Amino acid sequence: MLMPETVKATAIVASTIVAPIIRCGHHLQALWAKPTHPTLGTFRLSLAIMVFSSHVTYKAAHLFYYFSGIHAVVMFFITSGFLIGLAIERNYIGRTGEFILNRFLRIYPSFWVVLGLTVLTIALHGGTTVKGADIAAVSVRDWGPMEALRALPIVTGYPATIWQPMKVAWSLQVELSFYIAVALLYWALNAHYGRNATAQRGRGVLLGCYVALGIYVACASTIDLRFENPIAYIPDFVVGLAISRSVLNRDSAWVTWPLIGAAVFLSLLGFSHIVVTGGPHLRLFAPFSSFASRLSLDDGFNVQTLATLIGVFIACLLIKPGLRARRIDGFLGDLTHPLYLCHFAVLATMNQDFPSIPDERRIWMSFAAALLCAVLLCLFVDRPLMRLRAYIRKSALPPLRSIADLALARSARARMSTEP
């Protein structure tokens, strides 16, 4: 039986957050009716910097007190849901194999390189752990051959007891779970309706999103979800995927925006129940007093910050940049994944090797070193694969059937930058 105070708090959040979102949705969908090229590269890089700041020190993290790393990770999931939703509809309908291959090329090569370099760094330091004065630490303690084999494919690493060398890899595990789920959904819809059944496929995607939210509510309110459990982040991916449906303008706003409102509400509610110390999350509809602090700005993991970031994300979608701005934004976006992967090991190494340097100076040195590593990973690991990924993406475009498709094809090269 739900606590009266919990029901009251839920009603207040729903009336103040969901209803305005639905009202604004109709106006936003009209603005998004024209083809858009999201400028999310700079936004994504900012999220990676937020994660970096949260791993520096608790003291330094207070410089970004209202923007914690978990805020950024949740926004990564929302952004990923949006970009993957656009990419599949524009480039991979009926081509599930190409989608999976491109996702593999995007995630795994960089991950394997950083994992190998991190383990090598630990070995060169002559121990099982590299840890300095700050909270960042990388370790291969209790990390035997079986743990290494489980880490390589990422998805077999749950629960996250094997991520000592790469603490952030738990989020890749969540991300890959979303890729698998959305690929299976589109494969089933294409197999049932055919690749040209746009309206039926759209209804199927929206229905799948509602079912996913139902699964989340059922699981999050009845079982203890660990921090790295992919089910805990279903609403976040649904937010992005539903917004991509609105941007594509292929579904009625009366259907799409209630889904967005419900997903945003559950995302914020779920965020208020996250336990950041590594234990299981609070169950949904727990007594309000157990998570009331998350509604206060005095809490570094407050809900208001996530709501603000979602608003900034939506605002970024309304920007119409020129070609040069899109290129700069795309390059900054390309740095996001390698910076996210390598920053933890760089921080741990700098902390151990230069403990006598004042904190503030070491923080900036660590950031510069992490950014340099990200650029090198981008240039020598990701960039050589970009041409191959672009070829796969381009070959996945469906045959032209109308003047609208021809216009869409002319901007295909610009559209390629929308896939993370």
| Overall domain count for the chain | 1
Is the pLDDT at 310 greater than 90? The verdict is yes
Residue in 76, 110, 69, 15 with CA at minimum distance from that of residue 377: 110
Query: Rounded mean pLDDT of 89-104?
Result: 90
Ranges of H-type helices in 55-93: 58-61, 69-91
Amino acid identity, position 343: H
For the segment 176-230, what is each residue's pLDDT rounded down to a tens digit?
999 999 999 999 999 999 888 888 999 999 999 999 999 999 999 998 888 888 9
Confidence of residue 413 (pLDDT cuts 50, 70, 90): very low
Question: What are the b/e assignments for 336-349, b being 16+ CB within 10 Å?
Answer: bbbbbbbbbbbbbb
- What is the C-alpha separation between 228 and 170, in angstroms, rounded? 6
Residue 134 has pLDDT above 70, yes or no: no
408 pLDDT more than 60: no
pLDDT, one tens digit per residue, over 32-70 is 545 555 668 999 999 999 898 888 765 444 445 556 788
211 is written with which tokens? 């079912």
For residue 291, how many other CB atoms are within 10 A of its CB?
21
Residue with tokens 């660990």, as numbered in its chain: 226
Residue 27 domain boundaries: 4-418
pLDDT at 415 over 50: no
Structure-model confidence comparison of residues 373 and 289, the more confident one: 373
Mean pLDDT estimate for the chain: 81
The DSSP 8-state label assigned to residue 161 in this structure reads S
By C-alpha distance, which of 92, 233, 114 is closest to 174? 233
Cα 9 to the chain's mean position, in Å? 28
Which pLDDT score, from 0 to 100, does residue 148 have?
A: 81
Least confident of 150-164, 201-215, 243-257: 150-164
The per-residue pLDDT for 292 is 75
**106/385 Cα distance (integer angstroms):** 8
Task: Report the pLDDT averaged over residues 106-134.
Answer: 86
- Using DSSP's 3-state secondary structure scheme, residue 345 falls into helix
pLDDT in the model for residue 32: 58
348-405: per-residue pLDDT in tens?
898 888 888 888 888 889 999 999 999 999 999 998 888 888 888 776 544 444 444 4
pLDDT at 3: 54
At 386 the pLDDT is 85
Sign of CA dihedral 165, 167, 169, 170: positive
Percentage of residues of the chain with pLDDT beyond 90: 36
pTM reported for the whole predicted model: 0.86
Residue 281 has a pLDDT of: 76
Say if residue 85's pLDDT is above 90.
yes
Q: What is the mean pLDDT of residues 300-307?
A: 84
Q: Is the pLDDT of residue 142 over 80?
A: no
CB 10 within 8 A of CB 269: yes
Residue 416, pLDDT > 50, answer: no
